[in-house]
Amino acid sequence: MEEATRFAVELDRFAGIERRYLVKREGHTDPSYGKPPWARTLEELVECGVVNLDKPPGPTSHEVVAWAKSLLGVPKAGHGGTLEPD
């Protein structure tokens, strides 16, 4: 519970937000299921992660996604929106 709360605070900081957390109910999680995000292997991150990529002017978002997809060898990739969709 403490570790997950710390991770939540870390995510908030990444987003530039400060939030307090309140405990409704003490809880424990069974270590035999699931996996903390920080314990994921690099392969797992590549498969289901996010890269904050600086797209230069020139290539389209679509082209940069295709480039990243082949660079990382992943079957699926997407982006968070084009600058001026038409």
Partner 1 sequence: MIAHSDKEYIALAQLHARVPREKLEEVIREFVGRIYQRPPVRSSVKRTLRVKEIYGIEVLEYEGVFALMRVSCQHGTYIRKLVHDIGEILGVGAHMRELRRTRTGPFREESSVRMHELSEAVYLYEEHGRGDKLRSMILPHEYIVSHLPKVLVLDGAASAIAYGADLAVPGISVISEGIRRGDLAAIMTLKGELVALGKALMSTEEVLSSDRGVAFKTVRVIMERGVYPKGWKKRSEAQR
Which residues are at the interface with partner 1 (CB under 8 A)? 1, 3-5, 7-8, 11-12, 14-17, 19-30, 33-38, 40, 42, 45-46, 48-57, 64, 67-68, 71-72, 80-81, 83-86
Minimum CB separation from partner 1 for residue 79, in Å?
A: 8
d(C-alpha 30, C-alpha 11), whole Å: 23
Minimum CB separation from partner 1 for residue 67, in Å?
A: 7
Q: Is the dihedral of CA 69, 72, 75, 81 positive or negative?
A: negative
Minimum CB separation from partner 1 for residue 73, in Å?
A: 9
